[in-house]
Amino acid sequence: MSDKDLRRYSRIVVDGVEQAPSRAMLRAVGFTEEDFERPQIGIASTWSMVTPCNMHINGLADEAARASSEAGGKGVVFNTISVSDGISMGTPGMRYSLVSREIIADSIEAVAGAEGFDGVIAIGGCDKNMPGCVMAMARLNRPSVFVYGGTIRPGAKRRDIVSVFEAVGACSAGSISDAELLEVEQTAIPGPGACGGMYTANTMASAIEALGMSLANSSAQEAISDQKLDDCRRAGQAVMNLIREDIKPLDIMTREAFENAISVVIALAGSTNAVLHLLAIAREAGVELTLDDFTRIGERVPVLADVKPSGKYLMSELIEIGGIQPLMKRLLDNGLLHGDCLTVTGKTLADNLAEVADYPAGQDIIRDFDDPIKPDSHLAILYGNVAPEGAVAKITGKEGLLFEGRARVFHSEEEALQAILDDTVVAGDVLVIRYEGPKGAPGMREMLSPTGAIMGKGLGADVALITDGRFSGGSHGFVVGHVAPEAAVGGPIALIQDGDILKIDAQNKEINMQVDDAELERRRSAWKRPASPVKAGVLAKYRNEVSSASEGAVTIPPAWDE
């Protein structure tokens, strides 16, 4: 294949007399005469100083650009946004978190499409920019590689961001002093990288690697490490190989590849957000994926990783014993992965795993198949008169499989958090936090502040929480999110009243309120949608276009009549 054939998109921008103005502009940003004959590689960097997850990514982007140029391309770095879940958590700012996923996908698509990039490397380091990057790759369908920015190193005493949220509850309960809380706050976040447990960032990095869109072990490297720099160099070489072989994201992101991603998320006890994001990525890839696929796959895949938040270990400790590659090899050998799926290496998943060594003897981070944390999935998709379209529970079994209690209803996260901290919430309560869904919030806020406070108060085994919002990957306990239809569209969660008996049955995959149909109909006829907290701007646009959580909370363009 000639060099011109490799420049499928950039040649339209830079070839010919009529494109002299384009070349003039590019000369000013460093293009040489030879660069116009090279495939252009867009390096989508999510660098910013708004969060430690992304503060180092400028250096990674430069490394990827250099490597792609050395491999015969021309790397061009551009930026997209990031917002920090950890900083905005528990505030109105959290409404922008999930919305940012769509903005990131839109912005990468817009830049790559406008500039005529022949290939894309996207480097993400936080919960929403990672799926946003891969959604854009699916839309563009140009040779692409995703690079994970890497996990943070543990703080003092193996602390991380969830340690701080739970310390807030402990301080409120009188278990620790204000000075002890300050010491946790000052030592939990030692530097760059994504939150250190199997929270959403590490979960999605692992899912994307299993999907085939990043290189081996990209998901299991510390942010500040020689391995992560090498990952960027290899990505620069890999994207040029994909261009030469004409391998595109939709060749990789098949239904079987999504099933691989789901299996790995389950084995790792990953975040409930993976359900939302994998549904969204699949929609962009044109792959039919539903909530019920998580149930079907979850019936045969066990939870094997003893990792935070529900377990003991941090991502850095999993990295020390080999990362997720040996786990994937075990899953493959047990018939739980599709080995013939193509990956960004240009080889199949089975080829990539052929020479992977098993974990060292004596480690207890990844369990054997005959001694799982849980014999089936921790991601329970629940249905019932509370959630006719489904809800997502994160039940590892440590919380038990059944919870029945009286409803205590709140119309916002802030109301619920205050009730937890001032001891209004007591054992036997099922907290119902509603109007926090994709349209209701709008933006489907995460509930780490309430769940962290519940755990810090010592109520983790005695209180359940359900919401049409969602949970941070750091949340644990008896929690159910993504309740659909959401309250803002008149879903049954809007009809629950204080004192109603709620039953969450993870074994039978059910979530119900003990209220008869006639009473529910009476409540439904009296229900009125509350005024939205936003009137204009990006949140209003999102509210008007976003789909149900059961469909991935994606924005759906209006139909165009030909």
Q: Nearest to residue 257, comparing CAs of 343, 139, 329?
A: 343
Measured in whole angstroms, how far is the alpha carbon of residue 523 from the centre of its chain?
36
Q: In 3-state terms, what secondary structure has residue 519?
A: helix
Element (H, E) at 481: strand 478-484
Alpha-carbon distance of 222 to 233, in angstroms, equals: 16
Alpha-carbon distance of 41 to 43, in angstroms, equals: 6
Beta pairing, strands 144-148 & 501-505: unpaired
- Residue 373, φ and ψ in degrees, nearest 5: -60, -40
Alpha-carbon distance of 295 to 301, in angstroms, equals: 10
- Write 75-79 long-range contacts (CB < 8 A, 24+): 75/41, 75/43, 75/121, 75/236, 76/29, 76/40, 76/41, 76/42, 76/43, 76/115, 76/117, 77/43, 77/45, 78/42, 78/43, 78/44, 78/45, 78/111, 78/115, 79/44, 79/45, 79/46, 79/47, 79/48
Among residues 68, 163, 316, 472, the one annotated as catalytic is 472
Assess whether 525 carries a catalytic annotation: no
Q: Nearest to residue 202, comparing CAs of 102, 61, 323, 380?
A: 323
Residues 6+ apart with CB under 8 A from 58: 45, 47
Instruction: Report, as residue numbers or ranges, the catalytic residues.
Output: 472
